[in-house]
Homo-oligomer: A and B are copies of this chain.
């Protein structure tokens, strides 16, 4: 059984203190799919682009065993575009431009072959669309979902409906506080899990991630990077590494879920080392394994 990834594909123009790239490959579905491709294939990607979407990007995705049967290409349409500028410390960014283009009328249609997937990763898009995806799945066993402040504030009712059908919610700390309306993260996590998700992951950027599973809390460290070139896509890459590892191992125990969080963190630490998807394109499984071991050394101490 494959892994279904739904989300955005875009052309990103990104400015950091170090450099600028224009119309680089981006979007949540892209980062998630590329990251999960290092563990398990094929990855079925569902999304939409215009006919201006470079053929070279599609080739690269296919070379990573990403199945594009579910990718809609709108004739005469323009691909989703986003532009952002990062501040000097790379922790904050300003959005300079958001052009929805073909994404505005996106209706995710899941081809029959793909609707049999047991693992689903819902990238950050309108919760109404995320629900529409789940409605088309034959027997989804494990649903991982991302969202953002924009939907928490603007489409809370739809999001709450969706959360009842989600196994793992992955959000960042400010989103968790907003969703639960609670400043304490541990209390916020409790509230959120009562809304549906059995597992919750709170991403904290340079401070690592927290996994809430059963009665357990697991704190994963962040990889100590001296140089971050482009934080774009790090959160999506985390989700892709996480779900890819679980799909590969087919083991949903809490202990294995901790490992998946570290694999997600490892993939995200590569993502930010180069612009756009460059670092993810060039990766290999041995380097992923090496970095996993570095995470072990980073957090291990004696009893």
- The residues of A with any CB-CB pair to B shorter than 8 Å are 88-90, 183-187, 190, 204, 206-208, 210, 216-222, 224-228, 255, 258-259, 261-262, 293, 296-303
Contacts and interface: CB of A to CB of B under 8 A. Distances in A.
A3 to B, nearest CB: 22
A216 to B, nearest CB: 8
Contacts of A262: 301
Nearest to A90: B183
B224 A210 contact: yes
* Closest 9 pairs (CB-CB, A-B): A219-B221, A89-B183, A207-B207, A258-B301, A186-B224, A186-B226, A299-B299, A217-B224, A219-B298
A184 B299 contact: no
Contact of A217 (B207, B217, B298): B298
Nearest to A210: B224
Nearest to A187: B226
A68 B31 CA distance: 60
Contacts of A255: 301-302
A299 to B, nearest CB: 5
A24 B300 CA distance: 38
Given A207-B208, A208-B207, A299 B218 contact: yes
A219 B222 contact: yes
A203 B116 CA distance: 48
Nearest to A89: B183
Nearest to A303: B296
Contacts of A185: 206, 224
A62 B177 CA distance: 43
13 contacts: A89-B183, A89-B184, A184-B227, A185-B206, A207-B207, A208-B208, A208-B221, A216-B297, A218-B301, A221-B221, A258-B302, A262-B301, A300-B300
